[in-house]
């Protein structure tokens, strides 16, 4: 069976690989993955990837941080043990709020930034001791690798990829 066979087509130019992705897509082939040494603008759209929702998660985490800051300043300064500090008594959160703005701001940023980055690491499966999964070490240097699954159409596919400007084509068994 050739169901786990894939073609690895290597390119050495970002513009060429972008055009190649469009052509391979137009020829109705499924592109499993493209490994790049640097971000290529428009590649995600050409591959048909859905927009990322990282910014949305960050917004939600930011709101969480703000809420925690509001609760924390209220609980410690007003609710749990109100004190008269320097002639500025702690009667209500709203009256003392201006002094809490820096804390509210910092905790909003703290939560929005860190939790978004953690979400990014989890979603993209990158963390310490994770093994790299790029099939060719050149993809972090100056080569772009397009992975296309083979479904008994090896010849046709290799010709198409050659036409799009691939500098090297390997057929590998993916386990």
Partner 1 sequence: MSHYEAPIREPLVLGDKSYHDITEDIARPIEGKANRNWYIAFGISLAAMLWGFGCIFYTIGTGIGVWGLSKNIGWAWDITNFVWWVGIGHAGTLISAVLLLFRQKWRMAINRSAEAMTIFAVFQAGLFPIIHMGRPWNGYWVLPIPNQFGSLWVNFNSPLLWDVFAISTYLSVSLVFWWTGLLPDFAMIRDRAIKPFQKKIYSLLSFGWSGRAKDWQRFEEVSLVLAGLATPLVLSVHTIVSMDFATSINPGWHSTIFPPYFVAGAIFSGFAMVQTLLGIMRKVTNLEAYITRLHVEYMNIVIILTGGIVAVAYASEFFIAWYTGSPYENYTYMSVGAATGPYGWAFWSLILFNIAIPQLLWIKKIRRSFIWSFIISIAINIGMWFERFDIIAIVLSKGHLPSTWWRFEPTFIDVGIFIGTIGFFFVLFLLYARTFPVIAQAEVKTILKSSGENYKKLRDGNHE
In the complex, the residues that contact partner 1 under the rule CB under 8 A are 12, 14-15, 33-44, 47, 49, 51-52, 54-55, 58, 62, 72-73, 76-77, 80-81, 85-86, 88, 96, 99-100, 102-103, 105-107, 109-110, 112-114, 116-117, 120-121, 123-134, 137-142
Nearer to partner 1, 63 or 152 (CB): 63
CB 33 within 8 A of CB 147: yes
Q: Nearest distance from residue 122's CB to partner 1, in Å? A: 11
Q: How many Cβ atoms from other residues are within 10 Å of residue 119's Cβ?
A: 16
User: Mapping DSSP to helix (H, G, I), strand (E, B) and coil, where does residue 138 land?
Assistant: helix
Q: Nearest distance from residue 82's CB to partner 1, in Å? A: 10
Q: Nearest distance from residue 152's CB to partner 1, in Å? A: 26
* Unique residue bearing structure tokens 């003392």: 96
Nearer to partner 1, 136 or 153 (CB): 136
Nearer to partner 1, 52 or 159 (CB): 52
Nearer to partner 1, 5 or 138 (CB): 138
Closest CA to 68 of 119, 114, 111: 111
Q: Which two tokens stand for residue 121?
A: 């690491």
Q: Which two tokens stand for residue 22?
A: 């469009």
Side-chain-side CA neighbours of residue 66 (13 Å): 9
């Amino acid at each position: 069976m050739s169901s786990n066979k894939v073609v690895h087509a290597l390119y050495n130019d970002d513009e060429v690989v972008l055009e190649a992705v469009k052509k391979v897509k137009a020829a109705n082939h499924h592109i499993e993955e493209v490994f790049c040494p640097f971000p290529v603008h428009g590649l995600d759209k050409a591959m048909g990837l859905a927009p990322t929702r990282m910014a949305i998660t960050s917004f939600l985490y930011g709101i969480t941080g703000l809420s925690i800051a509001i609760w924390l300043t209220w609980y410690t300064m007003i609710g749990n043990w109100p004190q008269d500090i320097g002639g500025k008594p702690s009667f209500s959160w709203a009256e003392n709020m201006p002094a809490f703005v820096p804390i509210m701001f910092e905790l909003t940023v703290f939560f929005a930034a860190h939790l978004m980055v953690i979400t990014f690491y989890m979603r993209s499966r990158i963390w310490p001791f994770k093994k790299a999964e790029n099939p060719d070490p050149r993809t972090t240097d100056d080569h772009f690798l397009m992975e296309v699954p083979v479904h008994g159409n090896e010849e046709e596919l290799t010709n198409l990829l050659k036409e799009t400007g691939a500098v090297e084509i390997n057929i590998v068994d993916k386990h």
